[in-house]
């Protein structure tokens, strides 16, 4: 038996198919994964993401610590509630995890890391925080829901008091705010608008029931994966891990090389990779034939072989899509490659992710 979120019994009561995910018993679907996917694209769906780890970093040197720890620069966060996406790297620039950090005040930052890496992340952070006189606190008292879709924000806001509802609906993208007992953030992992909400563990069951009453569709890991892949978002353990670095994972935009004197973990190795050029790149693939691309399949290009890192059938496009790591010389948009699917080599076109955002198809079919 794996770890369980506070909503485990509610998932079972709804008939969810439970699977192991990073050591947690999580719902993969509640029936039709396709219906769950479309509910998020067309109206509103919710995901139990309480398996993710919320960490509060507090202390006078919190900003200094995080500027050293992360590849992106939290000095960019000027307004309370503003969030930043970043990778946390090893010295060789291998990706330990990707995460979101919120600036709450100059002595307090909130970090949200992945479920499968939470124990290793906490150990890594605490070891490096020792010389900064900081508190690195795992918030086991908080659960987390993602409410996503074009109608998600209005439905969730209807459960707040009028002043808090106005504040929630007024949040800009990638901002969060403490509204009563809830920390509400306009963030997500689906390519749709919505909120991620951190609530006290003992209150998340009631929130789940209230959202069900508002016809917010419960969704599992299956729909979460097809939605994030359509949105061109990486999954840790598939599209990146300790054996890859951000520049070959489509994440160069998350690396702040300026200012040049910021000495973050992994900087020297990243600069060497940047200056060397070439290497591998993460691209999107749109299959031209009837088949489904899956992780670990070989991608044959004119510049050498690559690998599918994530692949699926896209419910929105009604085609197979994938992310793949290929030689840089084969990463040009519009190029043709072949994917080894059970010994056959159907053609795929290189495209620039995302495939879908806010319900709009962004690639030529």
- Report the pLDDT value the prediction gives residue 1, as an integer from 0 to 100: 76
Evaluate whether residue 258 is within a structural domain: no
- Chain-centre distance of CA 169, in angstroms? 22
CATH number at residue 209: 3.30.1360.120
Evaluate whether residue 273 is within a structural domain: no
Same domain, 200 and 282: no
Evaluate whether residue 216 is within a structural domain: yes
- Report the pLDDT value the prediction gives residue 240, as an integer from 0 to 100: 98
Cis peptide before 245 (omega within 30 of 0): no
- Report the pLDDT value the prediction gives residue 352, as an integer from 0 to 100: 97
What is the C-alpha to C-alpha distance for residues 105 and 198, in angstroms, rounded to an integer?
18
Evaluate whether residue 263 is within a structural domain: no
Same domain, 204 and 336: no
302 SS3 class: coil
- Report the pLDDT value the prediction gives residue 22, as an integer from 0 to 100: 87
- Report the pLDDT value the prediction gives residue 278, as an integer from 0 to 100: 85
Evaluate whether residue 225 is within a structural domain: yes
Evaluate whether residue 268 is within a structural domain: no
Same domain, 172 and 292: no
Same domain, 219 and 289: no
Domain with 182, as residue range(s), is 1-231
Same domain, 187 and 123: yes
Structure tokens at 155: 């439905």
Same domain, 115 and 184: yes
Structure tokens at 64: 């200094």
Same domain, 66 and 129: yes
* Regions of the chain short of the pLDDT cut 70: none
Same domain, 67 and 205: yes
Sign, CA torsion 330/231/319/241:
positive
Evaluate whether residue 267 is within a structural domain: no
Same domain, 289 and 208: no
Structure tokens at 90: 């090893």
Longest CA pairwise span in the chain (Å): 60
How many independent structural domains does the chain possess?
2
Same domain, 219 and 323: no
Look at residues 192, 208, 231 and tell me which one is the last residue of a structural domain: 231
Q: What is the chain's mean pLDDT, rounded?
A: 97
Same domain, 292 and 224: no
CATH number at residue 334: 2.40.30.110
What is the C-alpha to C-alpha distance for residues 273 and 144, in angstroms, rounded to an integer?
37
Contact 346, 354 (CB under 8 A): no
Same domain, 184 and 289: no
104 SS3 class: strand
Closest to 72 (Cα-Cα) out of 281, 252, 280, 282: 252
Evaluate whether residue 222 is within a structural domain: yes
């Amino acid at each position: 038996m794996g770890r369980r979120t506070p909503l485990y019994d509610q998932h079972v009561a709804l008939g969810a198919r439970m699977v192991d995910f990073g050591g947690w018993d999580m719902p993969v679907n509640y029936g039709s994964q396709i219906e769950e996917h479309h509910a998020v694209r067309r109206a509103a769906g919710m995901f139990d993401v309480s398996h993710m780890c919320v960490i509060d970093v507090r202390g006078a040197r919190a900003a200094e610590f995080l500027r050293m720890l992360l590849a992106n620069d939290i000095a960019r966060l000027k307004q309370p509630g503003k969030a930043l996406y970043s990778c946390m790297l090893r010295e060789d620039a291998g990706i330990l995890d990707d995460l979101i950090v919120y600036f709450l005040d100059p002595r307090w930052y909130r970090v949200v890391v992945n479920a499968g890496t939470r124990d290793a992340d906490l150990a890594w952070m605490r070891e490096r925080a020792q010389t900064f006189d900081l508190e690195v606190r795992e918030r086991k008292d908080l659960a987390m829901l993602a409410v996503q879709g074009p109608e998600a924000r209005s439905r969730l806001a209807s459960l707040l008091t009028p002043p808090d509802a106005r504040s929630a609906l007024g949040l800009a993208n990638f901002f969060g705010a403490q509204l009563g007992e809830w920390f509400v953030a306009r963030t997500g992992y689906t390519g749709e608008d919505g909120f991620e909400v951190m609530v006290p563990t003992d209150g998340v069951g009631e929130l789940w029931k209230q959202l069900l009453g508002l016809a917010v569709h419960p969704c599992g890991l299956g729909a979460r994966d097809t939605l994030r892949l359509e949105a061109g978002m990486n999954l840790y353990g598939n599209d990146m891990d300790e054996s890859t670095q951000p520049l070959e994972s489509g994440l160069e935009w998350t690396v702040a090389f300026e200012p040049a004197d910021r000495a973050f973990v992994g900087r020297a190795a990243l600069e060497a990779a940047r200056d060397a050029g070439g290497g591998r790149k993460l691209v999107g693939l749109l299959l031209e034939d009837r088949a489904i691309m899956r992780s670990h399949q070989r991608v044959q290009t004119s510049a050498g072989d690559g690998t599918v890192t994530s692949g699926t059938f896209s419910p929105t496009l009604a085609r197979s899509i994938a992310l793949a790591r290929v030689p840089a010389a084969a990463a040009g948009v519009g190029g043709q490659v072949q994917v080894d699917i059970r010994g056959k080599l159907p053609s795929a076109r290189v495209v620039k992710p995302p495939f879908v955002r806010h319900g709009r198809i962004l690639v030529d079919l």
